[in-house]
Amino acid sequence: MKPGKKSQLRFGVTTERNQTENVDNGRLTFSAAMEHTIRERVKLHFGFDHRALTDDLNDKETNSNLVSIGADIQATDKLQFSVKREQNLGDCRSDLSHPDHRWPRLIR
Domain ranges of the chain: 7-106
- pLDDT by residue, tens only, the chain of 108 residues: 888 889 999 999 999 999 998 888 999 999 999 999 998 899 999 999 999 999 988 889 989 899 999 999 999 999 999 999 998 887 655 555 545 544 444 444
Residue by residue, what is the 3-state secondary structure of the chain?
CCCECCEEEEEEEEEEEEECCCCEEEEEEEEEEEEEEEECCEEEEEEEEEEEEEECCCCEEEEEEEEEEEEEEECCCCCEEEEEEEEECCCCCCCCCCCCEEEEEECC
